Amino acid sequence: MVPRIQHLAKVLLVTLLASACSSDGGSSTPAPTPTPTPPPGGSTTTTTITITSAGVSPRDITVTVGSRVTFVNNDSVPHDMASDPHPEHTACPDITVGFLAAGQMRATNNLNAARTCTYHDHNQPTTATLQGVIRIQ
């Protein structure tokens, strides 16, 4: 009788250990929420983007919902700022200010939708220094 009880105890112990093991494998800590990696330099809170021969500055800005952003062309040549994608400009049409002669400035429409918009110079659509990000939050 005694050996049988010992055997039962052993079976019980093994079962407990097995279940402890399986429950441990089943539970997992929640994965950390991924945060978007900001570009080098981060995002700047401003509503003015200045264009010079070096490109647009700041390249990455954050504005509040309802803001307007002003593009200032301080370059000696014209620029034609438009929403991505090129050449349709359909993603964020409200940020398209269009043709800016040297020295000219123009504001976007009110940016009423919270989202991230990117733009380019329609005359130089592949020039990276003339591409930027407007984060509407």
How far from 96 is each of 42, 44, 50, CA to CA, in Å?
A: 23, 20, 15
Q: Provide the 10 A C-beta neighbour count for residue 50.
A: 17
| Interatomic CA distance for residues 20 and 5, integer angstroms | 22
> Least Å distance between CB 86 and Cu ion?
3
Give the N- to C-terminal CA distance of the chain in Å, as an integer.
75
Q: Is 132 helix (H, G, I), strand (E, B) or coil?
A: strand
> Least Å distance between CB 79 and Cu ion?
11
Whichever of 6 and 90 has its CB closer to Cu ion, that residue is: 90
Whichever of 46 and 125 has its CB closer to Cu ion, that residue is: 125
> Least Å distance between CB 48 and Cu ion?
22
| Binding positions for Cu ion, rule: CB under 5 A | 82, 86-87, 122, 125
Whichever of 62 and 133 has its CB closer to Cu ion, that residue is: 133
Whichever of 62 and 81 has its CB closer to Cu ion, that residue is: 81
> Least Å distance between CB 125 and Cu ion?
5
Q: Provide the 10 A C-beta neighbour count for residue 109.
A: 13
Q: Which segments of the chain does DSSP mark as H helices, in order? A: 2-26
